[in-house]
Structure 1
Amino acid sequence: MKILHLSTYDTAGGAARAAYRLHRSLLQLGAESEMLVQDRQGDDITVYGPQSSWRKFLGRFINPRLDTLPLKIYRNKKNTPFHIQALPTRIIRKIHSMNPDIVHLHWICDGFIRIEDFPLINRPLVWTLHDSWPFTGGCHIPIDCFRYEDTCGNCPQLGSQNEYDLSRWIWKRKQKSYKGAVITVVSPSRWLADCAAKSSLFESTTIKVIRNGIDVDWYTPIAKNVARNVMNLPPDKYLILFGANNATADFNKGFHLIPPAIAHMKSLFCQQEKVELIVFGSSRPAYYDDLGVETRFLGRLHDDISLKILYSAADVTLVPSRLENSSNVIMESMACGTPCVAFDIGGPRDLIDHEKNGYLAKPYETAELGKGLAWILSDNKRYTQCAQKARSDAEKNFDIKKSAQSHLELYTELTKL
């Protein structure tokens, strides 16, 4: 059985990293797995991407911009990701030449695959929900909008008051395309599975919950003094870690919620002067204001070695996202024995056991985030127990080998139909 993973990127962003980890783990289980991407940034010979310089340039710079060009007519559009996926591509020809038995879709936007291409693949499709785009009229993070349960239109993210706007057109294209394809949806979290089941596009589609995984044999704790020495971080401070892809620019990741959370933590934590914030995934923003504690911006980290050391160096990881699916940051941090504080929403609820291996704060109260930080940092014995539980739960629940085996069983089931 030959499996082909389709992902816009192989290494850039959390969704790509999750897809690539699954692909590599399937290979380790002895499966025949390949990956086809629009923008290949790694050197793995089992990952295929554009060959010519022009095609590489097209995939990295032109397609993403052309795909979103029609959004320019919506002057009141919010600064949130939104994709149309209407550009013609050569993807079907390439897929057929690779001749897979199963095609596994991951994050496929930025002009990689046209919506109308799905039935033309002519293979059983597995589609992992890395966000909500597969069942909406174009947005990736619906926030407080539930129009995807109907037919979209009047899209708040477009700033539209037109029932027949771009989101309705995208929704209708998806509806038509999905009817001609055999799709099984995989959600890494129960929350996103419930959202997909309520959507009008996937209401009759088989939806399975299979958690993303990480290599828990790689992401292991390193002694804090050693990790801090390697990263040139202070040995005698309480380090709060915050990070994501585009950490300070992506509104959903909650960077703007950190100052009030820190302020409340300082009112509860007696050693506030020894607290420092570490930010990765972004450089210091131009609009930077004082966050209430000394702050270091490490920029983007591109390798698992640096991430493993950084998670181990931190005392607690703060994940203040408004919406979050299956967070790589939470799983990686816990596997390194560093507890997390996040809102009690969606994916984090599946990963964090409140006041056992981390802290779940009432959405979306920054004072609760601050309370969680203080709760974790203020008692050494409790902290040690929490950190040990984070690691043991990660070993039990986040092992990529278990995730890969579950996917392999699903592929086998689908090829027998």
Structure 2
Amino acid sequence: MDLLLLQSKFTITSLKILQINKTDAGGGAAVAANRLNRALRRNGVESKLLVQDQHRDEEGVYPVGTGFTYKQKAFVRFAWERLTFLPYERNASVRFAFSPANTGIDITQHPLVQEADVIHLHWVNQGFLSIETLGKLLSCGKPIVWTQHDMWSFTGGCHYAGTCLEFLEFCSYCPFLRKSGKKDLSAQIFAKKRKIYNEAPLSIVTCSKWLRTLSQESKLLRRKNFYNIPNPIDTELYAPRDKDVVRERLGLPKDKKLILFGAANVNDPRKGMRYFIEALNILAENFPVVKDNTELVVFGKANAETVKLFPFKTHSLKFISDPETLVDLYSSADIYVLPSLQDNLPNTVMESIACGTPVVGFSIGGVPEMISHQESGYLAEVKNSLSLATGIYETLFVSDINKLGVNARQKAVDCYSEEVVAQQYKAVYESVLK
């Protein structure tokens, strides 16, 4: 369906939209759901966000429940799902890459669900909604919009399928499972999803064209209505700041080129840490000017062992959640590097370009939709450390980096600003209610 035909500047202030996500903080889906809820509210939509785990006190965000007993039960559900998956997992590396969704809560009688005109799902795994309770929500008689933040909705349990294409027809012989076969756990989960999706009034939103293509081709969702809408970002907050001022504020050198890197789970092969380290070594060994004039800034979950592998002087800033500090951080850097091997529409790329900082990354997932090669950043060949090193070098020392930054910022304003994205979602909500 062509969303452009639906876009208009109408108001739907009388409608009640309920966003549903596991948590309001921690993880890309939580950030995206929160930002969308905020963007809609700022643009005249009565939107609320319902979460299992609330970590912040913010207007428009509500927990399913409160109190010690409620939180204890939520933890037990999470732990039970992980424990029951242990006999099936291929090894520890896939432990959180596969969600069997065999336990969860029924939220259909929650007052916010009852009053909503449209239910808008986001990321609902890890003990929040089971396939059974998801089915109850899908059959509650209200139109359902589901924004996909990964591939879980149309696979037999994995969040990213890698090179596996079993989801196109029927999941089985799953590479995530210890004992895979025609009737393995993925096949069982796939069959359960097919049953609850069959007659559900479900409309799918994908944040990237890459994920839309996969989702439309999948056996489970190919008959549903599809929309392609990116996540929003506050481009008034995420905007360029004076580089010298923010570097002084963060205690970073003013006379060096700074490469920014956000480390999530460094042990997850999908994050591409191996290729990033190899690329840095290529630069350090072959270009003395780079090593002498460049330093690395890392935020997130980079442990001491990982930092030792970087051949450049490294400033480790740990995990940062404060938006003001994040804007300072992106503005302080000359480039941001994203070595991920599979991703949807990364929030970190959006944040970086909104701050006018060019991104160097592999040409995977939704990243090519966010970066114009050598116009607003650099797209390297996938799993090619030399190509990634070339992108870092050219962007830092050859390209007109100021022009790249201006173009990157314009892309964020034109495509991802709150008003732009909110108008697209308004059109979707009106469409599903017709």
Normalising by structure 1, report the TM-score.
Answer: 0.95
Is residue 2:270 matched to residue 1:252? yes
Out of 64, 67, 70, the residue aligned to residue 55 of structure 1 is 70
Is residue 2:314 matched to residue 1:314? no
Q: Is the 8 A contact 2:18 2:113 kept in 1?
A: no
1:160-214, CA deviations, whole angstroms, 9 ceiling, x for partnerless residues?
A: 3322111111101100011131110000100000000111101111111011111
Tell me by how many angstroms 1:95 deviates. Answer: 5.6
Letter in 2 for 1:37: V
Distance 2:272 2:426 in 1: 35
Tell me by how many angstroms 1:126 deviates. Answer: 0.4
Tell me by how many angstroms 1:359 deviates. Answer: 0.1
Distance 1:313 1:252 in 2: 27
Aligned to 1:378: 397
Tell me by how many angstroms 1:29 deviates. Answer: 1.3
Quick one: structure 1 residues 56 and 369, their matched pair in 2 at CA, closer, same or farther if it must change by over 3 Å? same
Distance 2:360 2:83 in 1: 38
Within a 5 Å distance, the mapping from 1:226-375 to structure 2 comes to: 226-244=245-263, 246-266=264-284, 267-268=286-287, 270-286=289-305, 289-375=308-394
1:351-408, CA deviations, whole angstroms, 9 ceiling, x for partnerless residues?
A: 00000000000111011110000011113x6111111111122111221221111111
Aligned to 1:67: 81
Aligned to 1:169: 188
Aligned to 2:58: 44
Distance 1:272 1:243 in 2: 20
Q: Is the 8 A contact 2:360 2:379 kept in 1?
A: yes
Q: SS where residue 73 of structure 2 aligns?
A: helix
Quick one: structure 1 residues 274 and 159, their matched pair in 2 at CA, closer, same or farther if it must change by over 3 Å? farther
Distance 2:266 2:318 in 1: 10
Distance 1:286 1:263 in 2: 16
Tell me by how many angstroms 1:247 deviates. Answer: 4.0
Quick one: structure 1 residues 285 and 62, their matched pair in 2 at CA, closer, same or farther if it must change by over 3 Å? farther
Quick one: structure 1 residues 269 and 211, their matched pair in 2 at CA, closer, same or farther if it must change by over 3 Å? farther
Out of 400, 403, 407, the residue aligned to residue 389 of structure 1 is 407
Distance 1:268 1:276 in 2: 14
Distance 2:113 2:221 in 1: 29
Q: Is the 8 A contact 1:247 1:255 kept in 2?
A: no
Is residue 2:220 matched to residue 1:201? yes
Distance 2:320 2:204 in 1: 31
Percent of residue pairs identical:
34
Q: SS where residue 110 of structure 2 aligns?
A: helix
Distance 2:392 2:307 in 1: 22
Tell me by how many angstroms 1:275 deviates. Answer: 1.4
Q: SS where residue 270 of structure 1 aligns?
A: helix
1:205-237, CA deviations, whole angstroms, 9 ceiling, x for partnerless residues?
A: 111101111111110111111111111111111
Normalising by structure 2, report the TM-score.
Answer: 0.91
Q: Is the 8 A contact 1:138 1:167 kept in 2?
A: yes
Quick one: structure 1 residues 150 and 268, their matched pair in 2 at CA, closer, same or farther if it must change by over 3 Å? farther
Aligned to 2:37: 23
Tell me by how many angstroms 1:285 deviates. Answer: 4.5
Cα RMSD, aligned residues only: 1.7
Distance 1:140 1:205 in 2: 20
Aligned to 1:149: 168
Quick one: structure 1 residues 177 and 10, their matched pair in 2 at CA, closer, same or farther if it must change by over 3 Å? same
Distance 1:209 1:248 in 2: 30
Quick one: structure 1 residues 109 and 363, their matched pair in 2 at CA, closer, same or farther if it must change by over 3 Å? same
Distance 1:376 1:233 in 2: 20
Distance 2:168 2:111 in 1: 32
Quick one: structure 1 residues 342 and 323, their matched pair in 2 at CA, closer, same or farther if it must change by over 3 Å? same
Tell me by how many angstroms 1:255 deviates. Answer: 2.0
Distance 2:62 2:112 in 1: 14
Q: Bigger shift: 156-165 or 183-192?
A: 156-165
Quick one: structure 1 residues 224 and 104, their matched pair in 2 at CA, closer, same or farther if it must change by over 3 Å? same
Tell me by how many angstroms 1:264 deviates. Answer: 2.3
Tell me by how many angstroms 1:98 deviates. Answer: 3.9
Out of 14, 21, 45, the residue aligned to residue 7 of structure 1 is 21
Aligned to 2:110: 94
Letter in 1 for 2:70: R
Distance 2:229 2:366 in 1: 12
Tell me by how many angstroms 1:88 deviates. Answer: 4.3
Distance 1:97 1:330 in 2: 33
Distance 1:343 1:286 in 2: 24
Distance 2:102 2:290 in 1: 55
Aligned to 2:6: none
Instruction: Give the count of matched residue pairs.
Output: 413
Tell me by how many angstroms 1:288 deviates. Answer: 5.1
Q: SS where residue 226 of structure 2 aligns?
A: strand
